[in-house]
């Protein structure tokens, strides 16, 4: 039971022996065997905890239902030893051995099977996040599509044109009050540079 997320027990023991330090770890936990106060224990032990909706409609390859479970991501501000997380999940919460989180975005999206249309689609609004994080993205940001990004960019450009903006400070002031724009600019510096150049050209056009 404790090794079911690994191909072999040897793989789990190798990870424990290496005692690798990372800032994010993942685990699958089962409500039927979780002790009382498990969520409080996670929140006390981690800087941020992200928990999926209850996966109660997953199926095995043979079509039989899987046991209801949660996918959990545990994040730490500082690098944390695998052995510390193993003690928390296996020894204290009596759950399968945790894994190192290789892709935060991929792990969050898997919480609702966003990239697996053949699996049951859970609601991303049911993902729960507790604690603080240095991550500049919100949970919702991991579900923004290319079409969404195009619409945000066009909305910014339309606002600049409609308001005849000639100074970057006015655009920045607007960005501060619009979360979607703020996140876009923070993660798309090349586009921001292009917007700055366009605003500058607007100003020079009227010189």
| pLDDT score, position 5 | 56
Judgement on whether residues 152 and 69 belong to the same structural domain of the protein:
no
Judgement on whether residues 95 and 21 belong to the same structural domain of the protein:
yes
Distance, in Å, from the CA atom of 205 to the CA atom of 200, rounded to the nearest integer, reads 9
pTM: 0.74
Q: 48 in a domain, yes or no?
A: yes
| pLDDT score, position 1 | 35
46-82 as b/e, with b when 16 or more CB fall inside 10 Å? Answer: bbbbbbbbebeeeeeeeeeeeeebbbbbbbbeeebeb
Q: 2 in a domain, yes or no?
A: no
Q: Which residues of the chain have pLDDT under 70?
A: 1-9, 136, 206-207
Judgement on whether residues 46 and 79 belong to the same structural domain of the protein:
yes
Judgement on whether residues 21 and 63 belong to the same structural domain of the protein:
yes
Segments forming the whole domain that contains residue 179: 146-205
**HSE-up of residue 15 (Cα within 13 Å, Cβ side):** 22
Q: 4 in a domain, yes or no?
A: no
| pLDDT score, position 168 | 92
Q: Which helix (H) or strand (E) holds 50?
A: strand 48-51
User: Residue 137 region, left (φ>0) first, then alpha (ψ -120 to 50), else beta?
Assistant: beta
Q: 10 Å Cβ neighbour count for 3?
A: 15
pLDDT tens sequence across 147-163: 888 999 999 999 999 99
Q: 10 Å Cβ neighbour count for 156?
A: 21
């Amino acid at each position: 039971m404790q090794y079911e997320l690994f191909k072999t027990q040897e793989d789990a023991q190798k990870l424990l022996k290496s005692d690798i330090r990372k800032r994010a770890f993942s685990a699958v936990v089962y409500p039927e065997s979780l002790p009382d106060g498990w969520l409080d224990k996670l929140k006390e032990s981690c800087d941020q905890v992200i928990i999926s909706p209850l996966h109660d409609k997953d199926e095995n390859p043979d079509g039989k239902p899987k046991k209801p479970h949660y996918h959990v991501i545990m994040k730490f501000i500082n690098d944390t030893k695998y052995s510390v997380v193993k003690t928390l999940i296996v020894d204290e919460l009596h759950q399968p051995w945790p894994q190192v989180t290789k892709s935060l975005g991929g792990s969050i999206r898997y919480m609702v099977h966003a990239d697996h249309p053949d699996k049951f689609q859970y609601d991303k609004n049911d993902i729960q996040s507790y604690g603080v994080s240095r991550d500049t993205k919100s949970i919702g940001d991991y579900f923004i599509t290319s079409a969404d990004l195009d619409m945000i960019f066009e909305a910014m450009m339309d606002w600049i044109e409609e308001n005849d903006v000639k100074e970057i400070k006015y655009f920045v002031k607007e960005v501060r009050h619009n979360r979607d724009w703020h996140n876009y600019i923070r993660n798309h510096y090349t586009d921001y540079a292009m917007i700055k150049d366009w605003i500058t050209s607007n100003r020079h056009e009227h010189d």
